[in-house]
Amino acid sequence: QTHFLFLSLQAKMSRPVQAQRLEGVDKNIWVEFVKLAATYSKVNLGQGFPDFPPPDFLKEAFVRALREENHMLHQYTRGFGHPPLVKILAQYFGKLLGRHLDPMTNVMVTVGAYQALSCCFQAFVEEGNEVIIIEPFFDCYEPMVKMAGGTPVFVPLRPKAPKDGKLMSSADWQLDLAELASKFSKRTKAIVLNSPNNPLGKVFSRGELELIADLCVKHDVLCISDEVYEWLVYDGKEHIRIASLEGMWDRTVIIGSAGKTFSATGWKVGWTVGPNQLLQHLRTVHQNSVYHCATVAQEAVAQGFQRELELYGKPDSYFVQLPKMLQQKRDWLVQSLDAVGMKPIVPEGTYFLVADISEFKSDVPDVPNSDEPYDSRFAKWMVKNKGLAAIPLSAFYCESHKNNYSHFIRFCFAKEEATLKAANDILQKWKREKNSP
């Protein structure tokens, strides 16, 4: 956008009509890639949502809520969260954190975890503030920080070579402690932590979280902890909540998502958990932006959590079954990719998997001086020519780092067996075509 420096005698509309806070945050990779997938893909492993339904008990809860004699579930509920939902969330997360939570002050419901993130930045980040973002990152963090007037400061996870003969794991991508420490300054307002991490699937270990926590405490920094994939953890790994570490409860906002927890991304129910001194400011943003979230979905999610509380840790719990089911799918996709020469980074968590497509580079020649990162051109070519949709890893890096890792793409494996088999068929056929003279 060009800015005209005319004097005030000029018509007002000669300057941009939009507010400056929108500068540099208008681009969005999903708009383009979702459209491409819709147009070309036969197998869509791109955008992160399950192609299997939410569990029956949840769908039944929704329908029950609709059949209620009390049609007031079609009207406004409490703005900061439907009472049955905040009560059960307080109970459930209180149990997980080993702490008494007040449903009215320590929990707030949002329109998806996405809106929770937005509230955090609007409440705590302004011009002059820096926010540390670990790369690769869920792409919305950067524009949200910028729209709040803040400055994102990036620190990368760096891959270490896996042990001989083994596939790389998301655990092999690590922060360099000295590098991380150097990013903290007196301008640092917050760090965004996403564990399990989208797109890599990394599940931060206790040791790693303690290092981050120490820096937060030392520099008196807020931690925005995006834990939407908290249940999607494999190989017996443990998801550790940074808020449970020493010195962290008072400075952490935990973000969760019913969409990921219950495989119902279209319901857009999320939440924040934290101390009242932080949540009070999220409430202020919320009451001045959307105010209420839809009632019926909150009622159904509350019932879902009630069931899960009763089945806590038992084999029938959805939070036990879902990761089991997804681990199997992860392993299928790992196998499919490995078999054709795409090198998967085995994720410890989430339903995403990043793979190195170097061996397929010959299909998509390099274009020198191209503005577009290689992996993005590769992913576009792949969906158009092979019908397989995935997301380029560069989507999860800031502008200046988009070419750092140019040959990785992200697959979503929260898909029916038939979908993953179809993906396998595409990959196998592709490999055969490459090998034939």
Partner 1 sequence: SQTMTFRHKNTRRIEGLDSNVWVEFTKVAADPSIVNLGQGLPDISPPSYVKEELAKAAAVDRLNQYTRGFGHPSLVKALSQVYERVCGRKIDPLTDILVTVGAYGSLFSTVQALIEEGDEVIIIEPFYDCYEPMVKMAGAKPVFIPLRYKNDGSSVSSADWVLDPAELANKFNSKTKAIILNTPHNPMGKVFTREELQVIADLCIKHDTLCISDEVYEWMVYKGRKHIKIATLPGMWERTITIGSAGKTYSVTGWKLGWSIGPQNLIKHLQVVHQNTLYTCPTPLQEALAQAFWIDYKRMDDPECYFYSLSRELESKRDRMAQLLQEAGLKPVIPDGGYFMIVDVSTLNVDLSDIDEKQPYDYKFVKWMITSKKLSAIPLSAFCGPETKRQFEKYIRFCFIKKDSTLDAAEVILKNWNKQTA
| Interacting positions 93-152 with partner 1 (CB under 8 A) | 111-112, 114-115, 118, 122-126, 140, 143-144, 147-148
Comparing CB distances to partner 1, the nearer of 44 and 424 is: 44
Report yes or no: 374 and 388 within 8 Å, Cβ to Cβ: no
Residues 267-286 that bind partner 1 (CB under 8 A): 267-268, 277-278, 280-281, 283-285
Contact call for residues 263 and 269 (beta carbons, < 8 A): no
- Interface stretch with partner 1, choices 157-165, 229-237, 264-272, 425-433 (CB under 8 A): 264-272
- Give the contacts of 283 (CB within 8 A, at least 6 positions apart): 80, 108
Binders of partner 1 among 222-261, rule CB under 8 A?
222, 246-247, 250-251
Complex with partner 1: residue 220 or 417, whichever CB lies closer: 220
User: Is 25 one of the binding residues for partner 1 (CB under 8 A)?
Assistant: yes
Residue 245 CA to residue 226 CA, distance in Å, equals: 16
Q: How far apart are CA 158 and CA 383, in angstroms?
A: 28
How many other C-beta atoms can be found within 10 angstroms of the C-beta atom of residue 312?
13
- For the CB of residue 73, give the shortest distance to partner 1 in the complex, in Å: 6
CA gap 195, 205 in Å, rounded = 9
Shortest Å distance, C-beta 268 to partner 1 = 5
Minimum CB separation of residue 11 from partner 1 in Å reads 6
Q: Which residue in 2, 4, 8, 178 binds partner 1 (CB under 8 A)?
A: 8
- Residue 13 CA: distances (Å) to CA of 20, 312, 324: 14, 59, 57
Residues 287-306: x where in contact with partner 1 by CB under 8 A, - otherwise, as a string? xxxxxxxxxxx---------
Q: Find the DSSP H helices in 288-416.
A: 295-310, 318-340, 374-386
Question: In angstroms, rounded to a whole number, what is the distance separating the alpha carbons of residues 134 and 130?
Answer: 13
130-135 and 151-156 as β-strands: parallel, antiparallel, unpaired?
parallel
Least separation in angstroms between residue 197's CB and partner 1 is 19
Size of the site for partner 1 (CB under 8 A): 85
Q: Residue 50, interface with partner 1 (CB under 8 A)? A: yes
The nearest distance, CB 369 to partner 1, in angstroms, is 29
Q: Does 52 bind partner 1 (CB under 8 A)?
A: yes
Q: Would you give the binding string for partner 1 spanning residues 62-81, x where CB under 8 A is met?
A: xx--xx---xxxxxxxxx--
Spatial distance between the Cα atoms of 104 and 2, rounded to a whole number of angstroms: 47
**Subset of 408-427 contacting partner 1 (CB under 8 A):** none
